[in-house]
Amino acid sequence: MGIICLIIGLAILMIMCMKGIHIFISVFTTSLFLAVTAWLVSPDMLNPVDALLQVYTGGLGGYFGSFFFIFVLGAIFGKLTAISGAADSVASFIIGKFGERAVIPSLVAACAILAYGGVSVFVALFTVYSMMVSLFRKANLPRRLIPAVYFAGAGTFVMIMPGSPQIQNLIPMKFLGTSATAGLVPGMLTALFQVTLVIIYLTWLFKRVKAKGEGWVEDEKTAKAEEGKKDRQLPNVIVALLPMLILLVVLNILKWDPAIALFCAIIAALIVYIRYLDWKKLVPNLAAGTMEGVTSLFNTAVIVGFGALVMTLPAFKESFQAIAQSGLNPLVVTAISVGALVFISGSGSGALSIAMPMIAAMFPATVVDQGSLHRVATMASMSTTPPFNGLIITVFSVCGVSHKEGYGPVGTLTLAIPLLAMMFMLLLYTFLPASIATM
């Protein structure tokens, strides 16, 4: 009964998200439903009030506090690149040099490089967002596809590649004693397979959009902003890129905390863009950037709180145990159990943190190659991303796009294609010689 209620709750959340209902209302309604039904099915569980006040708000508040400066400073940095004309300068340079056809490949490559370079996917979003808006506007492409292009670069093949510094590739190392390049050959072949599907899909998608005559539409907010940009002098592209490069150097070479790296980038932007900023409007613009960051952070934190609540449900634990004890091949068990946890909790890293201790205990090196287990677990954590995933919520919020407008392409890139890639990886481990598969 508890599992049925959990499935109904997830269905309610997905339907409300797709209908465009505000994320907090959607999540709170679903959380209340799950807390009440779990208490009715298992009276020894926390009562609904305590479940919401202690577990849900604990998860929400913990995430809000941990990521506050990354979101706020990231939004301020993005605002500075926008109001200074730096984002427009980079966009004009790319289109001037390579033409409109290079817009999508350039953005996908930029997002992929940032993610594989160790930049947090949240920081990467704030780094490239203003540039993406400028490029989409100049190329007359619809705003609703900005999230799809972002995920194509930062949220698909890069996340599962051997050597990636992203958290999904690091968590299995802690429990399996493996390296970041574990499962090198199957991992790289799967990444190549996935990027091929991504390119094919994006090519088809944008041809279809162009054929339908769909293009950029200014909303009232951006239209006013564009009015103020006419006849404005733009910084040289090298000047425009300098604060972004400083951010990457401080983050990846100096290895400083992301919040400190963003703060350094903001200081650099204020100095480098000094000639291009309207200083009379600077404080209101920074205030607006701050509120945009807080809004995006809150929208993500409410999902994290939901995940924290779900993970305490007896049905959640029962589901995992049933999969883990199914008697299937260890790699298949890992793929199904991690994938199921991701879809239920909405968090890839959260699912790995729960699943890996149990998987490592059940399948030691004497049973299965630990590098193979590592690579399958990483792929599984990115193969069943649900519509209510925290990063998806954040990207839509930052881009000003609703689930109804943008989830179709994003779902293809973060759910359909990764599922195919997961199956492809399992086939590789089935048919490749052991000497190659375990490299």
Per-residue pLDDT of the chain (439 residues; tens, 9 = 90+): 778 888 898 889 888 877 878 888 988 999 999 999 888 888 877 788 888 989 899 988 988 888 788 878 888 888 888 888 887 887 778 767 777 777 888 888 888 887 786 666 777 787 788 888 888 988 899 999 999 999 999 888 988 888 887 778 888 888 898 888 889 999 999 999 999 999 999 999 999 998 998 888 876 655 555 555 555 688 898 998 898 888 878 876 887 887 888 899 899 999 999 998 888 888 888 898 888 788 878 877 887 788 888 878 887 777 767 776 777 889 999 999 889 888 877 778 777 877 788 889 889 988 889 999 999 999 999 998 888 887 898 899 888 898 888 999 999 999 999 999 999 999 999 888 776 767 6
Are the C-beta atoms of residues 426 and 397 closer than 8 Å to each other?
Answer: no
Burial 406-421 (b: 16+ CB within 10 A, else e): bbebbbbbbbebbeeb
What gap in Å lies between CA 259 and CA 71, rounded to an integer? 9
Q: How far is CA 421 from CA 30, 181, 197, 334, 356, in A?
A: 31, 18, 9, 15, 21
**What is the sign, positive or negative, of the torsion defined by CA atoms of 220, 406, 397, 119?**
negative
What gap in Å lies between CA 409 and CA 279, rounded to an integer? 39
Query: Who's near 329: CB < 8 A, 6+ residues apart?
Result: none
Query: Who's near 127: CB < 8 A, 6+ residues apart?
Result: 74, 77, 78, 114, 119, 244, 247
What gap in Å lies between CA 194 and CA 421, rounded to an integer? 6
H/E element holding 417?
A: helix 417-431
Per-residue pLDDT, 358: 81
Angle at 390 between CA 306 and CA 186, to 5 degrees: 115
Per-residue pLDDT, 181: 87
Per-residue pLDDT, 264: 92
Are the C-beta atoms of residues 356 and 377 closer than 8 Å to each other?
Answer: yes
Q: Which of 122, 430, 60 is nearest to 258 (CA)?
A: 122
Widest Cα–Cα separation across the chain: 69
